[in-house]
């Protein structure tokens, strides 16, 4: 004998007053309006972020290389200048390494992000990827290779000053150890400055490329 299960459906009661849903519907219509969609597309456009990040990179490099460092060297006593540069360089090299990545990630064509495949394309490999990679790599070299070497030399010179009873930048004569440390410091500092100059040239190079792409 077969049993049958009977399902009974009850209609949902009609809401007597659904006006509380009106603000929700209005918000939905506003969010889907052409004006809002246009504003969102403008916010998501990578081109403003690209120009701003590039401008920040170039401005930071130019100021530190040709303004801030020279002014501080002339205005501050040598120990205070060294302390200031020791505090600034980690921030400077971090920006020098990170900002080119932001510039590369926001590089676009017609408002569309290039992405890794676009950056490595033949038409972008030399004029976009190479200069930005150069800036990032030089920043990393200064941050993680040359800066620690320079810091160690400065520490050794400080100890040698205590032994000699004379500061490293005082007039001659100096001990053989201090002369060797000063020479070593000058060599490493020169390499670091050269690496920084290469980074600045690469940044300006990409700026020239970017200027030709502006509409």
Residue scoring higher pLDDT (2 or 71): 71
Q: Is residue 149 part of a domain?
A: yes
Q: How far apart are CA 31 and CA 26, in angstroms?
A: 9
> Residue 138 in contact with residue 199, Cβ under 8 Å?
yes
Question: For 115, left (φ over 0), alpha (ψ -120 to 50), or beta?
Answer: left
Q: Please state whether the predicted TM-score (pTM) of the whole model is above 0.85.
A: no
Q: Is residue 205 part of a domain?
A: yes
Q: Is residue 195 part of a domain?
A: yes
* The total number of structural domains that make up the chain: 1
Q: Is residue 95 part of a domain?
A: yes
Collapse the DSSP code of 113 into the 3-class scheme (helix H, G, I; strand E, B; otherwise coil) and give the result.
strand
> Residue 168 in contact with residue 161, Cβ under 8 Å?
yes
Q: Is residue 6 part of a domain?
A: no
Q: What is the DSSP string of 118-163?
A: HHTSHHHIIIIIHHHHHHHHHHHHIIIIIHHHHHHHHHHHHHHHHH
Q: Is residue 186 part of a domain?
A: yes
What is the domain extent for residue 95? 46-213
Segment holding 109, helix H or strand E: strand 108-109
CA–CA–CA angle 127, 94, 79 (5° rounding): 125
Q: Is residue 104 part of a domain?
A: yes
Reported as a single tens digit per residue, the pLDDT across 54-106 is: 999 999 999 999 999 999 999 999 999 999 999 999 999 999 999 999 999 99
Cα–Cα nearest to 192, from 64, 16, 43, 76: 64
Reported as a single tens digit per residue, the pLDDT across 40-65 is: 556 779 999 999 999 999 999 999 99
**pLDDT over 90 at 185, yes or no:** yes
How far apart, in Å, do the first and last CA atoms of the chain sit?
82
Q: Is residue 5 part of a domain?
A: no
Segment holding 108, helix H or strand E: strand 108-109
């Amino acid at each position: 004998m077969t049993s049958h299960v009977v399902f009974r459906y009850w209609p949902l009661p009609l809401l007597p007053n659904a006006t509380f849903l009106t603000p929700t519907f209005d918000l939905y219509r506003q969010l889907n309006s052409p004006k809002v969609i246009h504003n969102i597309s403008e916010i998501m456009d990578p081109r403003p972020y690209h120009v701003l990040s590039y401008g920040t990179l170039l401005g930071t490099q130019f100021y530190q290389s040709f303004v801030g460092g020279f002014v501080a060297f002339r205005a501050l006593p040598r120990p205070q200048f060294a302390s200031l540069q020791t505090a600034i360089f980690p921030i400077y090299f971090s920006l020098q390494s990170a900002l080119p990545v932001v510039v590369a990630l926001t590089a676009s064509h017609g408002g569309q992000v290039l992405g890794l495949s676009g950056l490595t394309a033949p038409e972008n490999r030399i004029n976009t990827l190479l200069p930005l990679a150069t800036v990032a790599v030089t920043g990393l070299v200064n941050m993680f290779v040359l800066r620690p070497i320079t810091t160690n030399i400065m520490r050794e010179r400080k100890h040698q000053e205590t032994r000699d009873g004379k500061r490293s930048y005082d007039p001659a004569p100096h001990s053989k150890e201090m002369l060797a440390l000063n020479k070593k410091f000058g060599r490493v500092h020169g390499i670091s400055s050269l690496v920084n100059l290469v980074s600045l040239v690469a940044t300006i190079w990409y700026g020239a490329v970017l200027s030709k792409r502006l509409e």
